[in-house]
């Protein structure tokens, strides 16, 4: 049994104080494994990554990463904690005025006073891992979507984090690039001894590499377990989500007034 790296306890979160995105979420993320956070769109999967990274604070509850209570950290402590976290954004979020090499060198230059030759070596090693050593002089605008994501991945591991978070890493990729990203996440996790958290709603790809899956819906954790356990689950909700049925416990319709009443009202209420 591996240790727990991230402990989330009774977390409540709301953007506007009215509708709860999270209403008492409890979650453990084991160290050294790939954990997938899944759920329908709009359930706040990305929000969870932002809570772990301290970019958002929960309304109440505890988010503990490697023994540190993230929402209670002071600014300096939070920035120190983030040096050990890497995050891959859906868009890649590369700095558009810097080329590939400088993008990866950016966090190293910001935090360490290494010599240029050392920075060059580190950057080339990271680029080699994602197979883009030859693209180091290109600007972000010259890269395809998949290449951008690989460069962003190299940048996210530039500071040698122990925790990697992936925000929808499989969205909008062609099948070849998709396969590359899937195997890269798995290889990096195993080779660098990382703990990985993947936020996604792509069942096939995520289940193929995840050790542990957690499904969120309606502000709560609806199911957890290994991909195999979830595939064989008896829960109607899990079945609907895993098999992609349009209707079931997860309603197709957003909550609204009764249909005929709404049509006959003649105006917006």
Question: Token match 């064989």: residue?
Answer: 232
Residue 15 binds other proteins (CB under 8 A):
no
Of residues 118 through 177, those in contact with other proteins by CB under 8 A are 152, 155-156, 158-159
Nearest distance, CB of residue 87 and other proteins, angstroms: 4
Nearest distance, CB of residue 187 and other proteins, angstroms: 22
- Encoded tokens for 54: 């301290």
Among 2, 10, 15, 95, binds other proteins (CB under 8 A): 95
Residue 107 binds other proteins (CB under 8 A):
yes
Among 2, 60, 91, 144, binds other proteins (CB under 8 A): 91
Residue closer to other proteins (CB basis): 94 or 210 = 94
- Encoded tokens for 163: 């925790």
User: Which stretch in 103-111, 177-185, 190-198, 201-209 sits in contact with other proteins by CB under 8 A?
Assistant: 103-111
The answer to whether 108 and 123 have CB atoms below 8 angstroms apart is yes
Extract the runs of DSSP E, i.e. beta strands, from the chain.
4-14, 20-30, 34-38, 60-65, 68-69, 85-88, 163-167, 195-199, 212-217, 220-225
Nearest distance, CB of residue 68 and other proteins, angstroms: 14
Residues facing residue 223 across a β-bridge:
215
Residue 112 binds other proteins (CB under 8 A):
no
Among 5, 85, 188, 242, binds other proteins (CB under 8 A): 85
Residue 111 binds other proteins (CB under 8 A):
yes
Residue closer to other proteins (CB basis): 91 or 208 = 91
The answer to whether 195 and 37 have CB atoms below 8 angstroms apart is no
- Encoded tokens for 242: 């895993």
Give how many residues touch other proteins by CB under 8 A. Answer: 26
Residue 55 binds other proteins (CB under 8 A):
yes
- Distance from C-alpha of 159 to C-alpha of 238, rounded to nearest angstrom: 37
Closest to 20 measured CA to CA, from 73, 59, 46, 76: 59
Q: Distance from first CA to last CA of the chain, Å, rounded?
A: 54
User: Which stretch in 78-86, 127-135, 179-187, 244-252 sits in contact with other proteins by CB under 8 A?
Assistant: 78-86
Closest to 35 measured CA to CA, from 168, 185, 202, 212: 212
The residues binding other proteins (CB under 8 A) are: 53, 55, 75, 79-80, 82-83, 85-87, 89-91, 93-96, 106-107, 110-111, 152, 155-156, 158-159
């Amino acid at each position: 049994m591996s240790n727990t790296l991230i402990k989330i306890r009774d977390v409540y979160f709301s953007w506007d104080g009215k509708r709860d995105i999270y209403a008492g979420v409890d979650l453990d993320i084991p160290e050294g494994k790939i954990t997938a956070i899944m759920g329908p769109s709009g359930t706040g999967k990305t929000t969870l990554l932002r809570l772990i990274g301290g970019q958002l604070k929960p309304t109440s509850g505890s988010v503990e990463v490697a023994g540190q209570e993230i929402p209670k950290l002071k600014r300096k402590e939070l920035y120190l904690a983030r040096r050990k976290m890497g995050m891959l954004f859906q868009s890649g979020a590369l700095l558009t005025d810097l080329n590939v090499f400088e993008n990866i060198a950016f966090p190293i230059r910001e935090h360490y006073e290494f010599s240029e030759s050392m920075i060059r070596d580190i950057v080339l090693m990271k680029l080699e891992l994602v197979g883009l050593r030859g693209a180091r002089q290109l600007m972000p605008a010259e890269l395809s979507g998949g290449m951008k994501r690989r460069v962003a991945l190299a940048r996210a591991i530039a500071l040698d984090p122990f925790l990697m978070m992936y925000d929808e890493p499989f969205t909008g990729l062609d099948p070849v690039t998709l396969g590359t990203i899937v195997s890269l996440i798995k290889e990096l996790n195993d080779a660098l001894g990382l703990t990985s958290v993947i936020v996604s709603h792509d069942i096939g790809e995520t289940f193929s590499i995840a050790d542990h899956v957690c499904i969120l819906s309606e502000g709560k954790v609806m199911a957890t377990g290994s991909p195999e356990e979830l595939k064989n689950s008896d829960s109607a909700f899990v079945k609907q989500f895993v098999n992609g049925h349009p209707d079931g416990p997860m309603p197709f319709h957003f909550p609204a007034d009764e249909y005929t009443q709404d049509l006959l009202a003649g105006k917006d209420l």
